[in-house]
Structure 1
Amino acid sequence: MALPPTEADPSDPIRILDVAGDDYRRVFELFLAGSNEKAVTHAHLSALVEQLPRRSVFLDIGAGSGTTTRHVGNYFEHTIAIEPGSYMRDALRRACPDARVLPDPVETADPGTLADFALCSHMLYYLPQSQWLPTVRRFLGWVRPGGELVLALQNPNNECMRLVRHFFGIRFDLAATANALRAGHEDLVESCTVETLPVRFHADNLADTLTVAEFMANVPNLAELESRPTHEDLERYVLTHFADPDGAGFSIGHDHDIVRIRRSSRP
């Protein structure tokens, strides 16, 4: 589903994609069409959920457009989804009409019940990393004793995150949070494990790859950064790092780190 080329001067900075805009939606659909992310992560989440002794309430924290919410919610009697963005929330309600949708930011949200399984997928980028640990502890307070919380984030060493680090010097890494949860938080944490899922985007042409690379470079608060790479900078990086050796197209690895946290059953 190739998109028409953007009318941009090579010396212009990359676009800032508004999550509520049509450009973002089209680029996100292009990314999903070329990536095996949903197939891989949905299969992994299904395997985790099927091991749960109880599947009454599912809580999706930062649910987005609801594709994953719907997939996981099929295993549960009730679904609660937190999504503060109005554009995403409208799509979420269409995807999951039976879910209870909360419009509040995660800092003030209150699900009002304990979940057997909670998911926070690709949301922590939008919070300062100094707040990750207290935020995750808060999320665990929404999980029943013996239930599970799963966090998903880009692996910091994948090709997508190397692009982000190259242009912005930004690194997102769940390792420190996972390590902290294992030590000194026994009041809430029974176990904490980390697994990396290999996922990859592929396109057979440069134009689509550049569009998706621009999407990947849209880090939080991009508009507030002092400078942005130009389209020419981005194209040079893509040609150097993402071209398939056999000339069959372009690939960008965006492996996910999955942190699985079981809440302590102790009173």
Structure 2
Amino acid sequence: MSSEQIMSTLPALDPAGEGYQEAFAAYLAHSDEAAVTRPRLDRIVASLPERLEFIDVGAGFGRTVRWFVDSFAHVVAIEPNLELHHRITLAAPDAEVLGGSILTAQPRLPADLVLCSHILYYVPRQDWQACLNRMASWLSEEGELVVLLQNPDSDLMRLLHRFTGRRFDLAELLPATRDSGWSVVLDTVPSILAAPDLDTALMIFRFFLSGITSVPTDERRPARTRAELTRQLDRHRLDDGGYRMSCTQDVLRLRRR
């Protein structure tokens, strides 16, 4: 069974659709990702020598743009899905919204902060370094690039790996990036997902699966079914019927030396 057949069992969610937004909201509501990420990003913003330009790469529904639109003189939201542009504008009317991918977008000004939060799932692995270099090229002399992705050894990423064959590891970018003359640090931030019931856990899994399987790959896995997914989730089932899994994040920070 291919990843496409898996998605016929767990139907794909349209990133511009209400189902995707509902599943994303469920993840945010039942994980502490935002609670542990926002203070860390606030500290990074506070440490910047200047706060003239902020670029949010893969702005989605505009949540992060809304967080920081008042902290910078100018905010740019890059989002390749044109159907989401109106949502970004609703969330942050003063933000400049650009289309295009990481490799094609053309922000006009050097940025004091470039944020790429959980976007590399949607980028073919062979393009990761090029995307990192491209985003770094947007930085001002004292600017910082921050890339977030789930740690490959979190419970949620291990589960997705079993079902799709995909593995995402920011640590793979460290050697080439350091050799290119950048100062780079990779931190790990523990996070927990606590879904109250099986339906919510399945909805959240579909949210991640929809994005991951949208990128072509030569990797294959044996047949996986909804029943098998339920059995795998049962390993994380609590006595009260809820589900608890780690969704720990990696945070890569890059500056000029």
Question: Is the shorter-chain TM-score for this pair beyond 0.5, marking a shared fold?
Answer: yes
Shift in Å at residue 86 of structure 1?
Answer: 2.3
TM-score scaled to structure 1, two decimals? 0.86
Worse-superposed segment, 210-219 or 53-62: 210-219
Contact conserved, 2:124 with 2:216, CA < 8 A, in 1?
no
Q: Partner of 1:21 in structure 2? A: 17
Larger Rg: 1
SS in 1 for 2:193: strand
What's the CA shift for 1:213?
A: 2.3
Shift of 1:223: 8.9
Pick one of 79, 88, 92 that aligns with 2:84: 88
**2:254 equivalent in structure 1:** 261
1:249 aligns with 2:235: no
Task: Give me the whole-angstrom Cα distance separating, in 2, the residues matched to 1:220 and 1:118.
Answer: 23
Paired residues, what number?
A: 247
Structure 1, 203-212 or 133-142: larger mean CA deviation:
203-212
Residue from 102, 107, 115 that aligns with 1:106: 102
Which of 221, 224, 246 in structure 2 is aligned with 1:229? 224
Q: Deviations over 1:160-183 (max 9, x none)?
A: 110111111111111111222112
Structure 1: 5+ residue runs without aligned partners?
1-11
| 1:115-154 equivalences in 2 (<5 Å) | 115-154=111-150
- Residue type at the aligned position of 1:157: D
Partners of 1:37 and 1:199 within 8 A in 2: yes
| Structure 2 residue runs without a partner (length 5+) | 1-7
CA distance in 2, matches of 1:61, 1:147: 15
Q: Is the 8 A contact 1:149 1:262 kept in 2?
A: yes
Q: Which amino acid aligns with 1:113?
A: L
User: Which has the larger displacement, 203-212 or 115-124?
Assistant: 203-212
| 2:179 is the counterpart of 1:199 | no
Cα 1:85–1:34 change in 2 (3 A) is same
Q: Secondary structure of 1:110's match?
A: coil
| Cα distance, 1:228 vs structure 2 | 6.7
Letter in 1 for 2:192: R
Kindly provide the amino acid, as one letter, of the partner of residue 237 in structure 1: Q
Distance, in Å, in 2 between the alignment partners of 1:212 and 1:146 is: 38
Structure with the higher helix share, 1 or 2: 2
In 1, the alpha carbon distance for the partners of 2:100 and 2:36 equals 29
TM-fit CA distance, 1:224? 6.5
Matched-pair contact (CA < 8 Å) for 1:151–1:260: yes
Distance 1:166 1:96, change over 3 A: same
User: Secondary structure of 1:80's match?
Assistant: strand
How big is the shift at 1:119?
0.6
Separation in 2, partners of 1:209, 1:105? 30
Q: Name the SS for the 2:186 alignment partner.
A: strand
Aligned: 1:169 with 2:165? yes
Give percent identity, aligned residues only.
36
Q: In 2, distance between residues paired with 1:31 and 1:155?
A: 16
**Which of 214, 228, 234 does residue 239 from structure 1 map onto?**
234
Residues 144-164 of structure 1: per-residue CA shift (max 9 Å, x gap):
112100011111110111011
Deviation at 1:221, TM superposition (A): 3.3
Structure 1 residue 94, shift from structure 2 partner:
0.8
Contact 1:14 1:229 in 2 (8 A): no
Distance change in 2, residues 1:83/1:223 (3 Å): closer
Task: State the match for 1:3 in structure 2.
Answer: none
SS at match of 1:88: helix
Match for 2:33 among 37, 52, 73? Answer: 37
Cα distance in structure 1, aligned partners of 2:152 and 2:166: 10
Contact 1:16 1:222 in 2 (8 A): no
